[in-house]
Amino acid sequence: MTMALLAAVAAAVGFFIGAVGVGGILLIPALVLLGKLDIHQATATALFSFLFTGLLGTWLFQRRGSIDWKMTLPVCTGAVVFSYLGAMVNSMVGASALTLIIALTIVLAGAYILLPARGSAARLRDGRSMPQQLLLLAVGAVSGFGSGVSGAGGPLFSVPMMLVLRFVPLAAIGTSQALQIVAAVFGTIGNLRYGSADFPTAAWITLFELGGVLLGARAAHAISVVALRRMAAGLCVVVGLFMLARSL
């Protein structure tokens, strides 16, 4: 029963990853509560599974022409070193403090997503100029570090930042798919050195995450992104508050 519930959560997480980029952080409390992993194992296990959701998501979005590599490459480049550094910091933070950090991150992410979108289509950035390329490099660095520390996957950080900076929304979600690969690879390298992951559990949840990504990527191109974002935000707020209450 517990593994079935974990599989259901993994499928929902995969759906939101494919649909709006964010959602991966919801897997961590499920791994703690249902998978009985400690917080460090949970973050490492979740991050490793995002390698595979990233590969599938990137292929699905690329097939539909929804990845702008002019935006994606600098974001992924910025994440390379900082994902590893984030995993190193993760191993240095105590379990209680790490749980509190992740709980606050979930709540704040959900609250941000619920805010109304700003800016008009005429003001959207396309990532072509050098200043914009540098902004994207910084987005990748922050997202990679945050991913390594929290195990949340880079999209939780990159999608909100790219939307705040007025990059094209669908391109931001496409970029987040490829970012998962880089953040997962280099974050996992750090975790193998400084932490630990439960690979059998990762294999189990990945199967269901991939099914969710397939459905989510289809929804991203067919359903209102605003509605999907609100669903993901509501889940983040509820789960984050529950996790925050337990940690306190």
Residues 158-182: tens digit of each pLDDT: 887 887 788 887 888 899 999 999 9
Tokens of 106: 């979930």
Question: What is the distance between the alpha carbons of residues 19 and 215, in angstroms, rounded to a whole number?
Answer: 8
Number of domains in the chain: 1
Sequential DSSP letters for 50-98: HHHHHHHHHHHHHHTT---HHHHHHHHHHHHHHHHHHHHHHHHS-HHHH
pLDDT tens, per residue, the chain with 248 residues? 788 999 999 999 999 888 877 778 789 889 998 999 998 999 999 999 999 999 999 999 999 888 999 999 999 999 999 999 999 998 888 888 888 888 888 787 777 767 665 544 457 888 889 999 999 999 999 999 989 988 888 888 888 788 778 888 788 889 999 999 999 999 999 999 887 899 999 999 999 999 999 998 888 777 776 776 677 777 777 777 877 776 66
For 97-127, give one letter per residue: b (16+ CB within 10 A) or e. ebbbbbbebbbebbebbeeeeeeeeeeebeb
Q: What is the pTM of this model?
A: 0.84
Residues 80-126: tens digit of each pLDDT: 999 999 999 988 888 888 888 888 887 877 777 676 655 444 578 88
Q: Which residues constitute the domain of residue 21?
A: 2-247
